[in-house]
Chains A and B, each alone.
Chain A
Amino acid sequence: KAGVTQTPRYLIKTRGQQVTLSCSPISGHRSVSWYQQTPGQGLQFLFEYFSETQRNKGNFPGRFSGRQFSNSRSEMNVSTLELGDSALYLCASSLQLGNVGNEQFFGPGTRLTVL
């Protein structure tokens, strides 16, 4: 079974630009969560989607947004990029939403560098 895939793997942008990252979950998985990982803050939850609806949101500004499509693929968008947005963005896939036995599997991440 193929794992979680994320595209692109690396991205370089300049301040003020916007960026869209993509995540394809494991086949059959319907829940997708996004995380930001930085050396200073570690792994922080951005948001979670299930059945095309945002179910949970972390403490990030409105510049961070996302969506999920009917095939469970998800995208996240960051507008008006700031230097502090440089990070590894990780997507996690799981079968269901918040149930016991619901393991979460991460993709390889997208490394975003903002200059």
Chain B
Amino acid sequence: EDQVTQSPEALRLQEGESSSLNCSYTVSGLRGLFWYRQDPGKGPEFLFTLYSAGEEKEKERLKATLTKKESFLHITAPKPEDSATYLCAVQLTGGGNKLTFGTGTQLKVEL
């Protein structure tokens, strides 16, 4: 069975304290891995898509990487406005646009 596991479930950081979020997956055939950010009461906001092991993408303080078994979302010098739930999702070969989501990491960045 295809599975996506995110860790940690929750993370509290001080402003400026860099860290990484993990998304590990066990799937039959990976087409792409997606990262989203979701604020309370809102829809997920697209961040990155990664397609092959070794691929990296960056956006402001965020950098996503992909291996054959997991993906990391690195947050460098976070600010309070980075507080949100970060969701990882996989798209499978032959699965159309269907995304299978992990349960998310709730990030809180404090002053």
Seen from chain A, the residues whose Cβ lies within 8 Å of a Cβ on chain B are: 4, 31, 33, 35, 42-45, 48, 50, 55-56, 58, 90, 92, 94, 97-98, 100-109, 111
B interface bracket (residues with beta carbon within 8 Å of A) = 20 to 34
A94 with B43: CB separation less than 8 A: no
The answer to whether the Cβ of B61 comes within 8 Å of any Cβ in the partner chain is no
In the bound complex, residues from chain A placing their C-beta under 8 Å from that of B32 are: 100, 102
CB-based A-B contact count at 8 angstroms: 68
Residue in A closest to B51 when the chains form the complex, CB atoms:
A100
Name 14 A/B residue pairs within 8 A (Cβ), A-sorted: A4-B43, A31-B96, A31-B97, A33-B98, A43-B99, A45-B98, A56-B97, A92-B99, A97-B97, A102-B97, A103-B46, A104-B34, A107-B43, A111-B41
A111 to B42, CA, bound (A): 10
Seen from chain B, the residues whose Cβ lies within 8 Å of a Cβ on chain A are: 31-32, 34, 36, 41-46, 49, 51, 87, 89, 91, 94-104
A56 with B36: CB separation less than 8 A: no
A56 with B51: CB separation less than 8 A: no
A106 to B99, CA, bound (A): 12
A109 with B101: CB separation less than 8 A: no
Q: From residue B48, how far is it (CB to closest CB) to chain A in Å? A: 9
A103 to B97, CA, bound (A): 9
In the bound complex, residues from chain A placing their C-beta under 8 Å from that of B31 are: 98, 100
